[in-house]
């Protein structure tokens, strides 16, 4: 069985921290989600509002954690790498990361993430994925994490491969988009029996 923590843990690796989302992250999440690339490749709505950011941090994240369905973190770095709007308590907010789609009896879940457009291209997403995956396998007892990526999202595919995930196949017509069209998704996965620690 998966061990579920009593509170969202803080995880550190060098200058990076995965920490619980907080009120201080609401503005950064709202601003980040104005980038059209995020709704294109995620479930974030195209008309993302401040109210949605507030609900995500204040209601959805705690509820899913309490229901043992998801753990959400903010990935931060302890140096100045982006605009002032993304700075929270001396750190730079890079983006949210999660384990969701949890099936405790099967010891599996799905990794999720997006990065603010101003901090992409530096390998931060791969580090965040490795940190989440290490914690999932070594502490929580997961045996498999999947990464499901839009087939057109080449950057995210590279992130998962760089983080140590393996490509398992193409999922045809896996997602229905807001405009009603179907999108293919690529399936990546990491398993605890062949994971190389960060």
Query: Taking the domains of the chain in order of start, what are their residue ranges?
Result: 11-142
Q: Which fold has domain 11-142?
A: Aminopeptidase (3.40.630)
- pLDDT tens for the chain, 198 residues: list them: 899 999 999 999 999 999 999 999 999 999 999 999 998 898 899 999 999 999 999 999 999 999 999 999 999 998 765 555 556 666 888 999 999 999 999 999 999 999 999 889 999 999 999 999 999 999 999 999 999 999 999 999 999 999 999 999 999 999 887 778 898 999 999 999 999 876
- Confidence (pTM): 0.92
For residue 195 the two structure tokens come to 């994971």
Residue 68 to residues 7, 98, 101, 128, 131, Cα–Cα distance (Å): 11, 12, 10, 21, 20
Q: How many CA atoms lie within 13 A of 101 on its CB side?
A: 10
Q: How far apart are CA 109 and CA 79, in angstroms?
A: 31
- Contact present, 173 and 33 (Cβ < 8 Å): no
| Strand 91-103 versus strand 87-88 pairing type | antiparallel
């Amino acid at each position: 069985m998966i061990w579920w923590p009593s509170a969202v843990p803080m995880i550190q690796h060098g200058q990076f921290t995965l920490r619980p989302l907080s009120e201080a992250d609401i503005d950064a999440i709202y601003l980040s989600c104005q980038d059209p690339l995020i709704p294109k490749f995620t479930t974030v709505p195209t008309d993302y509002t401040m109210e949605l950011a507030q609900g995500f941090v204040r209601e959805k994240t705690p509820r899913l954690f309490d229901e043992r369905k998801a753990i959400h973190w903010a990935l931060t770095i302890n140096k100045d790498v982006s605009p002032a709007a993304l700075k929270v308590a001396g750190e730079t907010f890079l983006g949210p990361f999660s384990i969701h789609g949890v099936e405790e009896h099967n010891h599996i879940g799905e990794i999720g993430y997006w990065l603010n457009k101003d901090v992409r291209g530096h390998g931060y997403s791969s580090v965040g994925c490795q940190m989440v995956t290490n914690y999932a396998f070594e502490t929580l007892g997961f045996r498999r994490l999947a990464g499901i990526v839009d087939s057109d999202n080449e950057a995210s595919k590279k992130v998962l491969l760089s983080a140590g995930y393996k490509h398992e196949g193409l999922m045809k017509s896996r997602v229905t988009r807001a405009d009603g069209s179907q999108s293919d998704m690529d399936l990546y996965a990491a398993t605890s029996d062949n994971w190389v620690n960060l």
